[in-house]
Structure 1
Amino acid sequence: MLREFDLLNYAIDWPELVHAVIAIGVSLAIAALVHRLVFSVACRLADRTETPVDGLVLERLRSPTRWAATAIALAMAAEVDAWAAWIWSSVGSLAVPALLGWIAYSLVKAFAAALEYRAEISTNIAAARSRRTRIAILSRTATFLVVFLTVGLVLFQLPGVKQVGATLLASAGLAALAVGAAAQPALKSLIAGLQMAITEPLRLGDMVVIDGHTGRVEDIRMSFVVVRMWDERAAIVPTSRFLDNTFENWSRASELLTGPVYLHLDPAAEVGPIRAEFERFLAEQPAWDGRTGKLLMTEARAGSVELRMAVSAATISDLFELRAAVREHMLDWLRRAQPAALLHSSVTTGSS
Structure 2
Amino acid sequence: MSLSQNLLNLAGGVLGAVIVVELIRRLLIRATTKWSAAEPFLRRCVWPGFAVAVLVAFNIGFLPNMFGTDAEGKEAAAQVDHVLGLLTIVAATWLVIQATYAVTDVVLNQLERIDGEKDRRARRIRTQITLVRRVAAAVIVVIALGAILFSFPQVRALGTGLLASAGIAGAIVGIAAQSTIGNMLAGLQLAFSDALRLDDVVVVNNEWGRIEELTLTYVVVRSWDERRLVFPVSYFTQNPFENWTRHGSRVIGHVYLRVDWSVPVPELREELHAFVKEHPLWDQKDWTLQITDILPNGLVELRALMSAADSASVWDLKCDAREHLVEFIRTRYPHTLPSFRIELGPRAQNAGGARDEGGGQDPA
TM-score (norm. length: structure 1): 0.83
Distance 1:336 1:66, change over 3 A: closer
Match of 1:197 among 191, 195, 205: 191
Match of 2:330 in 1: 335
Distance 1:38 1:235 in 2: 43
Match of 1:135 in 2: 129
The share of aligned pairs that are identical, in percent, is 31
Distance 1:155 1:299, change over 3 A: same
Match of 1:82 in 2: 65
- Is 1:36 the counterpart of 2:22? The answer is yes
**Residue 56 of structure 2 contacts residue 88 of structure 2 at CA under 8 Å; is this kept in 1?**
no
Distance 1:288 1:72 in 2: 62
Match of 1:318 in 2: 313
Distance 1:91 1:259, change over 3 A: same
Match of 1:305 in 2: 300
**Residue 59 of structure 2 contacts residue 85 of structure 2 at CA under 8 Å; is this kept in 1?**
no
Distance 1:152 1:282, change over 3 A: same
1:82 counterpart letter in structure 2: N
**Residue 261 of structure 1 contacts residue 308 of structure 1 at CA under 8 Å; is this kept in 2?**
yes
Distance 2:271 2:84 in 1: 81
Return the offset for 1:285: 1.9
Distance 1:110 1:314 in 2: 33
Distance 1:339 1:42, change over 3 A: closer
Match of 2:202 in 1: 208
Distance 2:27 2:281 in 1: 51
Match of 1:229 among 223, 227, 232: 223
Give a deviation string over 1:108-130, Cα, whole Å, max 9, x none. 22123322322233334434433
Distance 2:14 2:7 in 1: 10
Return the offset for 1:92: 4.2
Match of 2:54 among 49, 70, 73: 70
Distance 1:335 1:105 in 2: 64
Distance 1:40 1:332, change over 3 A: closer
Match of 2:102 in 1: 110
Structure with larger Rg: 2
Return the offset for 1:248: 1.0
Aligned-pair Cα RMSD in Å = 2.7
Distance 1:224 1:35, change over 3 A: closer
Distance 2:131 2:258 in 1: 47
Match of 2:45 among 61, 64, 67: 61
Aligned to 1:321, the other structure's residue is in SS state helix
Aligned to 2:210, the other structure's residue is in SS state strand
Distance 1:230 1:37 in 2: 47
Distance 2:212 2:282 in 1: 27
Which shows bigger deviation, 318-327 or 92-101? 92-101
Match of 2:34 among 25, 30, 49: 49
- Is 1:99 the counterpart of 2:91? The answer is yes
Distance 1:319 1:48, change over 3 A: closer
- Is 1:280 the counterpart of 2:274? The answer is yes
- Is 1:262 the counterpart of 2:246? The answer is no
Match of 1:11 in 2: none
Give a deviation string over 1:60-100, Cα, whole Å, max 9, x none. 22222223222332333346x62289356333442342233
Distance 1:65 1:240, change over 3 A: same
Give a deviation string over 1:177-215, Cα, whole Å, max 9, x none. 112212322222222222222122122222101222211
**Residue 18 of structure 2 contacts residue 54 of structure 2 at CA under 8 Å; is this kept in 1?**
yes
Match of 1:24 in 2: 10
User: How many residues are aligned here?
Assistant: 329
**Residue 262 of structure 1 contacts residue 307 of structure 1 at CA under 8 Å; is this kept in 2?**
yes
Could you tell me which runs of 5 or more consecutive residues in structure 1 were left unpaired when the two chains were aligned.
1-14, 347-352
Distance 2:299 2:105 in 1: 58
Match of 1:187 among 175, 181, 184: 181
Distance 1:38 1:82, change over 3 A: farther
Distance 1:282 1:161, change over 3 A: same
**Residue 141 of structure 1 contacts residue 190 of structure 1 at CA under 8 Å; is this kept in 2?**
no
Distance 2:268 2:50 in 1: 74
**Residue 201 of structure 2 contacts residue 210 of structure 2 at CA under 8 Å; is this kept in 1?**
yes
**Residue 217 of structure 1 contacts residue 226 of structure 1 at CA under 8 Å; is this kept in 2?**
yes
Aligned to 2:103, the other structure's residue is in SS state helix
Aligned to 2:209, the other structure's residue is in SS state strand
Return the offset for 1:233: 2.1
TM-score (norm. length: structure 2): 0.80
Distance 2:278 2:28 in 1: 56
